[in-house]
């Protein structure tokens, strides 16, 4: 581990913040989804860094499970986006407000 | 190695900005691919060979391709037109996100302990697999159930609606519920 851990963790923090900005400011459901993937990957990077820092492989196993959940989440989410697009002809999240009181 | 890290980190950050700043969804997807590829190299730098391979196969190989497929499917209509009102007012959103980012940076800057010594086979498929099939066997089996549920859910969602339900007007409240 030639590069110290705080550099990796700082990269992870900045990537997470970028993903958060994307979720908050973008309106296309697809881009919001990609920003969520960005945040998941930032968390993965932090987990792998800590796994290396502590010399334990458990963090990498958790990353494996996050990968599984992310794959399922993408499949379900994109199916929902396609479904919404079919019935409402839009992927703009502000036009989908059926639950608004 | 430090140079490699600097290059990879720069590419990842550029990709991250590209994901949230691109006008067209396809450009966002390609930027996401750049981020994921850079992170795979990062994992190699952190002695996580197995995770790096999974990152390339699952994320770059499957998830990004799925994104591109969906963008192609929704094609012309998925373009995002510039709108006046953002979800969060910019005057609020930018300081809020900056504050959260600074808090994150402050927290991680304290993780300055020296890295533990690891053996030659740390992070290999054997090493991760041994942990996965001994201490993490139950979560591993649960993951298979999650994948099955995801598959069934995608099929159920992807089935075409009956003709009566598809014709719901865009402004109507009666979306064909299932």
Q: Using one digit for the tens of pLDDT, what is the confidence trace for B32-46?
A: 999 999 999 999 999
Torsion of CA B28, B32, B34, B37, to 10 degrees: -160
Joined tokens for residue B42: 């990062």
Contact A55 B161 (CB under 8 A): no
Residues 6+ apart with CB under 8 A from B53: none
Joined tokens for residue B23: 């006008």
Residues 83-112 of B with CB under 8 A from A: 83, 86-88, 90, 93, 96-98, 100-101, 104-105, 107-109, 111-112
Residues 6+ apart with CB under 8 A from B142: none
> How many Å is the Cα radius of gyration of chain B?
22
What number is the ipTM of this complex? 0.89
Per-residue pLDDT tens digits for B59-116: 888 899 999 988 888 865 555 555 545 556 667 777 888 888 888 887 777 666 777 7
pLDDT at res. B42: 93
Angle A5-25/B90-109 helices, nearest 10 degrees?
160
For residue B148, which residues of chain A lie inside 8 Å, CB to CB?
none
Joined tokens for residue A1: 């581990």
pLDDT at res. B82: 52
Are the CB atoms for A15 and A23 separated by under 8 Å?
A: no
pLDDT at res. B22: 84
Give the confidence band of B177 by pLDDT, cuts at 50, 70, 90.
Answer: very low
| Model confidence, pTM | 0.83
Residues 6+ apart with CB under 8 A from B107: A13
Are the CB atoms for B22 and B67 separated by under 8 Å?
A: no
Q: How far is CA B148 from the centre of its chain?
A: 20
Contact A8 B122 (CB under 8 A): no
Strands (E), A1-101: none
Mean pLDDT of B40-63: 91
CA distance to partner chain B, nearest, from residue A95 (Å): 9
């Amino acid at each position: 581990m030639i590069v110290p851990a705080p550099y990796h963790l700082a990269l992870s923090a900045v990537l997470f913040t970028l993903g958060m900005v994307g979720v908050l400011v973008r309106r296309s459901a697809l881009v919001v989804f990609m920003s969520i993937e960005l945040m998941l990957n930032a968390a993965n990077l932090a987990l792998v860094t800590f796994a290396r820092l502590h010399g334990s492989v458990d963090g990498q196993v958790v990353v494996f499970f996050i990968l599984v959940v992310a794959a399922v989440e993408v499949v379900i989410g994109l199916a929902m986006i396609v479904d919404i697009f079919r019935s409402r002809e839009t992927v703009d999240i502000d036009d989908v407000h059926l639950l608004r009181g | 190695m430090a140079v490699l890290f600097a290059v990879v980190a720069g590419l990842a950050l550029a990709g991250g900005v590209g994901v949230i700043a691109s006008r067209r969804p396809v450009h966002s997807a390609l930027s996401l691919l750049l981020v994921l590829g850079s992170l795979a190299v990062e994992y190699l730098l952190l002695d996580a060979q197995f995770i790096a391979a999974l990152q390339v196969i699952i994320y770059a190989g499957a998830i990004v391709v799925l994104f591109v497929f969906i963008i192609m499917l929704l094609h012309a209509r998925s373009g995002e037109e510039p709108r006046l009102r953002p979800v969060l007012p910019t005057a609020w959103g930018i300081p809020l996100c900056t504050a959260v980012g600074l808090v994150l940076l402050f927290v991680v800057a304290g993780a300055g302990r020296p890295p533990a010594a690891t053996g030659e086979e740390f992070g290999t498929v054997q090493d991760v697999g041994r942990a996965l099939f001994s201490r993490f066997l139950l979560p591993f089996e649960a993951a298979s159930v999650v994948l099955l549920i995801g598959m069934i859910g995608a099929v159920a969602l992807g089935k075409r609606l009956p003709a009566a339900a598809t014709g719901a007007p865009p402004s109507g409240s009666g979306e064909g519920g299932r």
